[in-house]
Every structure is written in C-alpha cells, then in structure tokens.
Amino acid sequence: MIRVRLADDALAIACGADAVAAAFAAAGCLVERCSSWGLHWLEPLAEIDGHGFGPLTPADVSAVLAGRSDRGIGPIATHPFLARQQRLTFARAGRTRPLSLDDYAATDGWAGLRRARALPPEQVIAEVAGSGLRGRGGAGFPAGVKWRTVAEAGGQSGTGRKYIVCNADEGDSGTFADRMLMEGDPFALLEGMAIAGHAVGAGHGYVYVRSEYPHAIARLRAAVALAAPIIAPFGVEVRVGAGAYVCGEETALLNSLEGRRGEVRAKPPLPALHGLFGRPTVVNNVLTLAAVPHILREGGAAAYHGLGTGRSRGTMPIQLAGNVRYGGLYETAFGITLNALIHDIGGGTASGRPVKAVQVGGPLGAYIHPDRFDLPFDYEAYAAADALIGHGGVVVFDDTADMARLARVAMQFCAIESCGKCTPCRIGSTRGVELIDRLRAPAPADAVAALPQMRNAPKGGRRRADDLALLEELCETMRFGSLCALGGFTPYPVLSALRQWPEDFA
Amino acid sequence: MTDPDRLRAIIAAHRDAEGPLLPILHDVQAAFGCIDAAAQAAIAAALNLSRAEVHGVVSFYHDFSQTPDHRPLVQLCRAEACQARGAEALAAVAQVAAGERVRVAAVYCLGLCSVGPNARIGDRLHARLDEDGLTRLIAAL
C-alpha cells in the first residue's frame, strides 16, 4: 500500500489538503497527516517515499499515483528552500505527526526536560543565559535574565505561586511561525514551558492563543491532554483571546488572562516580579519557549550560541509572506540579508512585478526600501536603521503598493486596536489618520480653524510643509509618549513610508 | 434570548478557574450569539463583580457582541500581507456578493500570510481567494 503524507495545519487545510487527502484515501492509499514543511507555495504538498508533489488538487491524484504528474518537486528534504536552512526550533517540521507521542520521543523529544529536571534550577537558567536566547516576540529581551529575575522573586526562599505564561497571541500580519509550531510540534512548546517551570519554580502555565487560530487551539488542547502525565507536576492550560491585537503586549495579555479589559499596565513593576494575579511570572513567546528544549539537551546551549552574529545568537524562524513567489517558513541563523531572503530564496514577487518595499516585523515594523536590502537580520542592526525585526515576519510589496495608503493603514490599525489607556496612542492615531488624509488630498481650509476666535491658527490655512512637520511631531510624541509598542512603534511604518517614498504622499 | 439554565451551567463550569471571566464570555457568546444585559448581570452576580466591570470587558473585545446577529459571518483578512496580495479589491466584491444577507467583517491576520487573500467562515479558513472563489463561498452560505 502506498503511504502518502500530507500536512494538516491550518494553511494546508485552507489550501485544500483535506480534499486531496480524501482523494488519496479513495484511491486506496494510506494517508498520514503530519506537520507542514513550510513550503507554502506548494501546499497542498503530498509526500510519497520522500518525494514531493504540489500544489495538488483532488484531480491531480490519479496522475501522481500513475507516475505521470508534472507536479513533482523531487526529494523534499533536499529541496533548495529547505537545504539552506538551519532548523532547530522547526527541526520536526514536515517530519512528524503533531500529536504522536511516539514520533516526538523518537526525535529527541523530552530529552531537554529530562536533563533539565536532573539539574539544579540555577544551572538550567545559566544554560539558557549562556545560549544567548533572546525573546522572539519582538523585544529581544534576554530569556535567561528574565528567568533569573522570576526565580529570585518572592523572597529568599523563592517560594509562593509563580506562573509561566506563553504569549501565543501572534497578531502581527505576515507572521505565522507560532501557529506552525503550535499546530505542527505542540509538545515542543509544552516541553519548553515545563523546563521554564522547573527553572523558576512555577507549577502552572497558561498558553494564551488568539481566537483567530481555531486549529492551533484545538491542537494544543489535545496535546496538553496527551502530555499531561509527562510534564506533571507542571500543569498547562490553554486560554483563548478575544480578538484584541493589543493583548499580544505582555501586560495587556496578563490583564486579559485575569478576566479584565486588555489594557496595558504601566511598567514597572515588571511582570517578572508582579505579573499574573500579582505573582512573579515568566511571559515568553511561543518561539522562545520552543527553542528551550534544544538548548537544554547535552551541548545544546553551546551549539545554539555558536550560530548567529553579534548579540543576536541562534536561529530565527523568518516568515516570508505577502507578495512573494516562494513564501513560507525559513529558519536560519541571524545575519542573513533581505536581498538573499527576497530574491535568492523568495524568488521575487508572486505578481512578477518589481519589489517596491518590504515590511519587516508586522504592522508596527518599518517599510524598507530595496536600496537597503543589504541590512543583516540582527536586532541591533535593525534598531540602528530605525527598523525592527519584531517576530520575524517579512511582507513583500510590489510596485503597485501606495505607501501613503499603507502609512494610513498603520495609523488606522492603531486607532482600531488601541486599548485606550494612554493618550498618544488613543488620540494620536486618529489625528494621524486625518493628517495623512490631508496630505494625500488637500482639503479646503478647516471651518473651525478659520473662525475669528482661533487666534493661534495659521492665517490662510495650513501649508503642506506645516502638515508634514506636524506629522513628524505627532510621530515623535507617539514614539516616546506611548505606554507600549502599539502606539510607540506605529510611527515606524508611517515615517519610513514618508521618508523613503515622499512622492506617494503628493 | 438567553436561556437562564444554560447560562447557569456555563458559569458553573468555569467559576472555580483562575480568571474565569473570558472563558465564560466565550461560551456565552457561542451559545447565544451575544452577551446581552441580562447575561452580563447574571455573570457579574456570580463572579462578585459589578455589572460595569463585566460590561467593560464585553465591550472591549472584538469577539463579543451585545446584540445578536444571526446572519452568516465572513471574516476577510485586511492586514498588510493580504493587502500585498490584492485583498482590498476583494473587500468590495465581498460586500456586493453579501448584500444584506451575509455579514462581512474585517479580521487582522489569520496566519496564512504567504497564501492570501484569506477569509474565515466559522472555524474554516480559506486561502488563495480570488473574486470568483470568494463570491462562490459567500453564495453558498
């Protein structure tokens, strides 16, 4: 009997993998559903004896089985898109069945947890710190430092309730690595959380998943039920968000878990000291926690630290998205350039038109002009270039993109999703939308500004230069005056669009 | 209309959890299609919260509504990655195809950013949508 492997993650299913699987089964094949390789342009991608066929529809199945399909891509594992990657966090992608404890154990699963539990907690924290692992959610805060803070919180004995919270509220457009990890390798996340629990002395963990990820929620809940005896006494519960982007911010997430409005908290106090229900709490992104089992294996920390560049150590699961020909998951060591990512690996735009701009780091990330595509993927290099890596999403736009409209989208998104707690974000975003509208289509003089009692309003209406200066000033206020990254980083896409494509604002 | 017995059962299922409000609201929204004033009052009483606190939470999150809308719902992704693949042109098409019969709402990212434009209908996701595909999906609802 022919064994056919097909991914069963949300993306493969949305592309029609279930119908293709049914067609293979109807043709008498043994269909095995596994995780996705991350070759998204080829989904639904079927694997037979290591050889790939995709993208398939049910109508292609008979040709594939008869050996006369033109959809063959040869051996999957040595496909150029995969062969050049360095997969650590996604080492199992495409290779295992997501909910098979046997597959997980056969691929070094639980080895990190076993070794960690045999070590004193300080040693576990020292290894995580030594690996150079930084928070993959966007801020890039060293994971070891955060863990040490939580471990030492709560008095000398370090007793009392503590929590591990996994931030799986992956709201950034252009990112899907958390989703792929939760759907494709959920045990790795649970193993990472259990290791964190041992390291800091926490007995309970929450995974806060956004409600837009129904498949990931179901998969995680099933995985928790299966793995509960293995990670015990550590316990994990899956909680579901409710459609608020700002809950990806760690303090808003904690409020949401507590059953409150997802409003941002002022820091300090840090969540590490005063987090969920006021207790010391580790809040880490999915990718951060899922990298931990590898690091805690024998020699894992040194191997992880051996990859990367400068202070950005290890690998980053980069997500190629938007108008790109070969989109998908590309995990590699830090230091790769956008030129390599978009042209060599991504194959340029899907539309075949020239690349106009790339947005790295989600809706709050800067737009980057092709002139700067030699920028190395590195936290510090991006910060120095007024950009951010964020969660590693790379969204490609072709030359039909209107950068002024995209700048407006950024402000509008901030206005819709602002939690309302701080003024620069709540009000600044709406004023920003109005300003960009005025720049794009100069309106007649404002009726209120023309009133005689408005003595400070410029006579004869505002000039374009005034509006531009005002937009710059507004962005500066939002950047430095907002409580969290939503208001604080919205200026990145706006100003980067304005400065690099001023002609679009005319 | 909120069935009081069912509401009590939902509250009872979660009330001993830590931070039970969001799980309760999710279940109430799923069961009744909205979280109306009566439900908010009952939840507030059960959790020893003020009605204002519960109302504040219900009104904060996009997933919760206070009045029912039983029309089928299509959530079309309008985030940047789908825009880069032509989602904005589809939004107008969706509205025409939907008319008053189907509700079309924006969603910001379904995590399928390399194969957009994407939409969500219930718990089913749809990728690589074009005008015909989206129109057919909406017509079939």
Rounded Cα gap, residues A405 and A413, in angstroms = 12
Closest Cα of chain A to B83: distance in Å? Answer: 8
The answer, yes or no, to whether residue A155 has pLDDT greater than 70, is no
Among the listed residues B116, B60, B67, the one whose alpha carbon sits nearest the alpha carbon of residue B88? B116
- Out of A215, A245, A261, the one facing B60 most closely (by C-beta) is A261
Query: Between chains, do B84 and A261 touch, taking CB under 8 Å as contact?
Result: no
Closest Cα of chain B to A242: distance in Å? Answer: 5
Query: Between chains, do B57 and A260 touch, taking CB under 8 Å as contact?
Result: yes
Q: What is the DSSP string of A276-330?
A: GGGS-EEEEEHHHHHHHHHHHSTTHHHHHHTSEETTEESEEEEEEEES-SS-EEE
Rounded Cα gap, residues A76 and A380, in angstroms = 35
Relative to beta strand A3-7, strand A30-34 is: parallel
* Chain A residues 443-462 with CB within 8 Å of chain B: none
| A-interface mutation test, from B27, B83, B113, B125, most A Cβ less than 10 A away | B113
Decide: A282 and A165 in contact? Cβ < 8 Å. Answer: yes
Decide: A419 and A352 in contact? Cβ < 8 Å. Answer: no
The answer, yes or no, to whether residue A157 has pLDDT greater than 60, is no
Query: Between chains, do A174 and B26 touch, taking CB under 8 Å as contact?
Result: no
With CA atoms as reference, the chain B residue closest to A215 would be: B123
Chain B residues within 8 A of A176 when measuring between CB atoms: 111-114
The alpha carbon torsion through A146, A147, A153, A159 (nearest 10 deg) reads 160
Tokens, residue A62: 């008979």
pLDDT at A371 (0 to 100):
97
Among the listed residues A506, A256, A501, A492, the one whose alpha carbon sits nearest the alpha carbon of residue A388? A492
pLDDT tier, A446 (very low <50, low <70, confident <90, very high otherwise) = confident
Residue owning tokens 């001993």: B16
Q: Coil, helix or strand for A333?
A: strand
In the predicted model, what is the mean pLDDT of chain A? 95
Tokens, residue A459: 């006579």
Q: Where is B45: in which H helix or E strand?
A: helix B37-47
| A-interface mutation test, from B14, B80, B136, most A Cβ less than 10 A away | B80
Query: Between chains, do B63 and A211 touch, taking CB under 8 Å as contact?
Result: yes
Among the listed residues A489, A211, A413, A385, the one whose alpha carbon sits nearest the alpha carbon of residue B62? A211
Query: Once rounded to an integer, what is the mean pLDDT over residues A233-246?
Result: 97
Handedness of CA A197, A200, A203, A204 (dihedral sign): negative
- Whether A348 and chain B come into contact, CB under 8 Å, resolves to no
Closest Cα of chain B to A326: distance in Å? Answer: 8
Query: Between chains, do B128 and A15 touch, taking CB under 8 Å as contact?
Result: yes
pLDDT tier, A461 (very low <50, low <70, confident <90, very high otherwise) = confident
Decide: A195 and A116 in contact? Cβ < 8 Å. Answer: yes
Q: Which pLDDT tens digit goes with each residue over A107-142?
A: 999 999 999 999 999 999 999 999 999 999 988 999
Half-sphere exposure of A58 (CA within 13 A, CB side): 11
Decide: A282 and A146 in contact? Cβ < 8 Å. Answer: yes
User: How many Cβ contacts (< 8 angstroms) between chains A and B?
Assistant: 149
- Whether B133 and chain A come into contact, CB under 8 Å, resolves to no
* Chain A residues 291-320 with CB within 8 Å of chain B: 319-320
Q: Coil, helix or strand for A165?
A: strand
pLDDT at A25 (0 to 100):
98
- Whether B121 and chain A come into contact, CB under 8 Å, resolves to no
Query: Once rounded to an integer, what is the mean pLDDT over residues A473-496?
Result: 97
Query: Once rounded to an integer, what is the mean pLDDT over residues A135-158?
Result: 87
Chain A residues within 8 A of B63 when measuring between CB atoms: 211, 241-243
pLDDT at A348 (0 to 100):
97
C-alpha Rg value of chain B to the nearest Å: 18
Among the listed residues A269, A248, A266, the one whose alpha carbon sits nearest the alpha carbon of residue A257? A248
Among the listed residues B81, B104, B67, B54, the one whose alpha carbon sits nearest the alpha carbon of residue A349? B81
Tell me the C-alpha to C-alpha distance, in Å, between residue A132 and each of A128, A199, A403: 7, 16, 36
* Chain B residues 8-37 with CB within 8 Å of chain A: 17-23, 25-26
Helix axes A286-296, A177-184, angle to 10 degrees: 60
Query: Between chains, do B19 and A257 touch, taking CB under 8 Å as contact?
Result: yes
Rounded Cα gap, residues A257 and A95, in angstroms = 34
- Whether A213 and chain B come into contact, CB under 8 Å, resolves to yes
Decide: B44 and A282 in contact? Cβ < 8 Å. Answer: no
pLDDT at B1 (0 to 100):
63
Chain B residues within 8 A of A170 when measuring between CB atoms: 109, 111
With CA atoms as reference, the chain A residue closest to B83 would be: A322
- Whether A7 and chain B come into contact, CB under 8 Å, resolves to no
With CA atoms as reference, the chain A residue closest to B124 would be: A14
The answer, yes or no, to whether residue A175 has pLDDT greater than 70, is yes
Least confident of A357-371, A424-438, A443-457: A443-457
Decide: A324 and A342 in contact? Cβ < 8 Å. Answer: yes
Rounded Cα gap, residues A450 and A379, in angstroms = 48
Write the single-letter amino acid at A501.
Answer: W
- Whether B111 and chain A come into contact, CB under 8 Å, resolves to yes
The reply to whether omega before B117 is within 30° of 0 (cis) is yes
Rounded Cα gap, residues A144 and A436, in angstroms = 42
For residues A288 and A160, which has the higher predicted lDDT (pLDDT)? A288
Least confident of A328-332, A413-417, A443-447: A443-447
Domain spanning B73-139 has what CATH number?
Answer: 3.40.30.10
pLDDT at A330 (0 to 100):
98
Q: Which pLDDT tens digit goes with each residue over A265-279?
A: 999 999 999 999 999
Chain B residues within 8 A of A395 when measuring between CB atoms: 80-81, 84, 113
pLDDT tier, A447 (very low <50, low <70, confident <90, very high otherwise) = confident
Rounded Cα gap, residues A354 and A21, in angstroms = 36
Q: Is A174 left (phi over 0), alpha (psi -120 to 50) or beta?
A: left
Query: Between chains, do B118 and A320 touch, taking CB under 8 Å as contact?
Result: no
Query: H/E/C letters for each residue in A360-389?
Result: ECHHHCCEECHHHCCCECCHHHHHHCCCCC
Query: Between chains, do A395 and B80 touch, taking CB under 8 Å as contact?
Result: yes
pLDDT at A156 (0 to 100):
52
* Paired residues of A481 in beta bridges: none
Residue owning tokens 């003024």: A423
pLDDT at A46 (0 to 100):
98
pLDDT tier, A308 (very low <50, low <70, confident <90, very high otherwise) = very high
- For each of the domains in chain A, give its residue range(s) and CATH number, in order of start: 3-83 (3.40.30.10), 101-305 (3.40.50.11540), 308-398 (3.10.20.600), 403-505 (1.20.1440.230)
Residue A7 per-residue DSSP state: E
Decide: B24 and A264 in contact? Cβ < 8 Å. Answer: no
- Out of A15, A244, A409, the one facing B127 most closely (by C-beta) is A15
Report percent pLDDT > 70 for chain A. 99
Query: Between chains, do A170 and B111 touch, taking CB under 8 Å as contact?
Result: yes
Domain boundaries, chain B: 4-60, 73-139
Rounded Cα gap, residues A175 and A317, in angstroms = 10
The alpha carbon torsion through B136, A326, A328, A360 (nearest 10 deg) reads -100
Query: Between chains, do B84 and A397 touch, taking CB under 8 Å as contact?
Result: yes
Query: Once rounded to an integer, what is the mean pLDDT over residues A352-361?
Result: 97
Tokens, residue A362: 């989600």
C-alpha Rg value of chain A to the nearest Å: 24
With CA atoms as reference, the chain B residue closest to A325 would be: B114
For residues A456 and A162, which has the higher predicted lDDT (pLDDT)? A162
Decide: A196 and A284 in contact? Cβ < 8 Å. Answer: yes
- Out of A14, A173, A363, the one facing B126 most closely (by C-beta) is A14
Rounded Cα gap, residues A284 and A200, in angstroms = 13
Tokens, residue A394: 């790379």
Residues in chain B where the model's pLDDT stays below 70:
1
pLDDT at A160 (0 to 100):
82
Decide: A297 and A199 in contact? Cβ < 8 Å. Answer: no
Contacts of A53 (CB under 8 A, 6+ apart): A45, A46, A47, A60, A64, A69, A71, A72, A73
Chain A residues within 8 A of B79 when measuring between CB atoms: 173-174, 363
Decide: A21 and A6 in contact? Cβ < 8 Å. Answer: yes
Residue A307: φ, ψ to 5°:
-100, 155
Decide: A226 and A192 in contact? Cβ < 8 Å. Answer: no
Q: Which pLDDT tens digit goes with each residue over A31-60?
A: 999 999 999 999 999 999 999 999 999 999
Closest Cα of chain A to B107: distance in Å? Answer: 8
Chain B residues within 8 A of A179 when measuring between CB atoms: 111
